[in-house]
Structure formats: C-alpha cells, structure tokens
Structure 1
C-alpha cells in the first residue's frame, strides 16, 4: 500500500472518529446540531440522543477497522472494501437526506479507493 493510500485511509479513520465524537460524546453540543442540521428540540429528545450515540459507535468502530486494515493487516483488499462500504453509505445518505453527504462523507474514501489502484 502506498504512503498516499495510508495517509488518506488514516484521514478517513480520523473523520469517522470525529463523527463518533460528535454523535456519541458531544451529542448535545452546538457543533453537533450544526453539523447534522438538527434543531434544539430534536437534539434534546432522549430517543434521538440514544439513536445518535448508537450510530456514533458504528462510526467509531469503522474508524478502528480502517486502522486495523491499514496498519495491522496491511491489506489493500480489506481497506478497499471498507472504502467501498463508506462510499455506498454516503451515496445512500446523499439520496435519502442531503446531496452534500456524498462529498462530505464520501470524498476522502473515494480518493482513498482511487489511490489503492496505484502503487
């Protein structure tokens, strides 16, 4: 795996750790409200908070899996599969929620996936 791929994949992991932070730790912060475009009433709703925290765990663990694939397994295929998964989720989010999600959540993974084809 090239140094460019390693750096890009690491940045994707950092992005997902940040999403984890917003969703699971800073759930009721102004930054979380702004990033996810939710209103104060929804943000105060305990059911929404619980759902956010649950989703955050998924994102945090995805970041961990990326780091394992890159630094422990040194596996281009696993890293590529994880990037493909993230891209598909970003496409779904763009179609069902906000089109900008494709670039916000999928931009770095797209670049990472492309970089994996070059040595």
Structure 2
C-alpha cells in the first residue's frame, strides 16, 4: 500500500478512535454534546448513554481494523478498501437519516482513500 493510502487510513483510524473516546469515555460531556448537536441532559439518559457507548465500541473496532489492514495484513489495499466502503455506507446512511454533513465528516476520508486506491 502506498504511503499516501496508509496515511489516510491512519488518520481515519484516529478519527474513529476519537469518536470512540467521545461516545464511550466522555459520553455525557459537554464536548460530546457539542460534537453531536445534543444536550448533556439527554446524553445522561441511561438508554441513550448505553447506546452511545455501544456505538463507541463499534467505532473503535473500525479504527483497529484500519490499523490492522495498514500494518499487519498482506492484503492491505483490499482489506482497507472493504473497511472504507463500509464506512462510506454508514456515513451515507447517517447523511440521509440524521444530518447531511455526516457524509463529509465521517465519510470524506474514505471517499478520498477509495478514489486514490483505484488511481495509485
């Protein structure tokens, strides 16, 4: 895998690890509320708090998958493409159902990776 593609995957992994941190560690913080356009009081509700933590673990596993693909496996590009396609699908769904900006915020790096992975 080229250095550019590897860097994009690493940056994407860091983004998803940060989302994990917000959703799982700092679930009901003001920063999390601001990031997701919610109220701290809402994030303190048990069911929403648990859902956020669950979603955070999902995001951490995506980050770990990207790092695994970038550094461990011999099929770096193929596995990275698969994960980036998955991220793009989830971001597109979020963009359609929650807020259109999610597509760019969560899927932008994956779009860039996918385009470059077929060109480089």
Fold equivalence (TM over 0.5):
yes
- CA shift digits 1:9-37 (9 cap, x unpaired): 10000000000000000101111000111
Q: Which runs of 4+ in 1 moved over 4 A?
A: none
Q: Hey, what's the Cα distance between the residues in 1 that align with 2:89 and 2:111?
A: 10
Cα deviations across residues 8-65 of structure 1 (Å, max 9, x unaligned)?
A: 0100000000000000001011110001111132111011111000000000011000
Query: What is the rounded CA distance, in whole Å, between the counterparts of 1:32 and 1:108 in structure 2?
Result: 21
TM norm structure 1: 0.96
Equivalent pair of 2:8/2:109 in contact (CA under 8 Å): yes
Q: Distance in 2 between matches of 1:37 and 1:46?
A: 18
- TM-score, normalised relative to structure 2: 0.95
Matches of 1:105 and 1:73, distance apart in 2: 24
Q: Equivalent residue for 1:118?
A: 119
Unaligned runs of 5+ in 2: none
The answer on 1:67 being equivalent to 2:67 is: yes
Please name the residue that 2:91 is paired with.
90
Higher relative contact order (CA 8 A, sep 6+): 1
